[in-house]
């Protein structure tokens, strides 16, 4: 099972993940992606869903038209792990 990242490791990882920040009041990281329209927003979600399913690690996310708010945390570990960092990185790559 993945272990929670130390505060130091987490900050270092966030430094390499543009747009991702700590989520207030939770042991989680989050990012709000804004696209051109729903087509692009859902296209992003579809590609990210395939990656998430392959990783067997799934996001919490909310979509309103062209916006996708993502929160990542590892339930089993009770906080942010390397799996969240990997998924965040993949999402940034998909969003371009």
For a second copy, the binding residue among 18, 21, 38, 93 (CB under 8 A) is: 38
Using rule CB under 8 A, residue 26 touches a second copy: no
Q: Give SS3 for 50.
A: helix
Comparison of 3 and 37: residue with beta carbon closer to a second copy: 37
For a second copy, the binding residue among 17, 23, 60, 89 (CB under 8 A) is: 60
Using rule CB under 8 A, residue 64 touches a second copy: yes
* Token digits of residue 85: 């960092």
Number of residues that bind a second copy (CB under 8 A): 16
Sign of the CA dihedral running 61, 38, 94, 51: positive
- In whole angstroms, give the CA distance from residue 55 to residue 22: 22
The CA-CA-CA angle for residues 32, 57, 6, to 5°, reads: 75
For a second copy, the binding residue among 11, 21, 53, 78 (CB under 8 A) is: 53
Closest approach, Cβ 35 to a second copy, in A, equals 12
């Amino acid at each position: 099972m993945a272990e929670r990242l130390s505060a130091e490791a987490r900050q270092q990882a966030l430094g390499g993940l543009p747009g991702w920040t700590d989520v207030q009041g939770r042991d989680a990281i989050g990012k709000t992606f804004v696209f051109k329209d729903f087509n692009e927003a859902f296209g992003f979600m579809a590609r990210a869903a395939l990656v998430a399913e392959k990783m067997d690690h799934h996001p919490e996310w909310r979509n309103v038209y062209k916006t996708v708010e993502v929160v990542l945390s590892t339930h089993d570990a009770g906080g942010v792990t390397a799996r969240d960092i990997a998924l965040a990185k993949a999402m940034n790559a998909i969003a371009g």
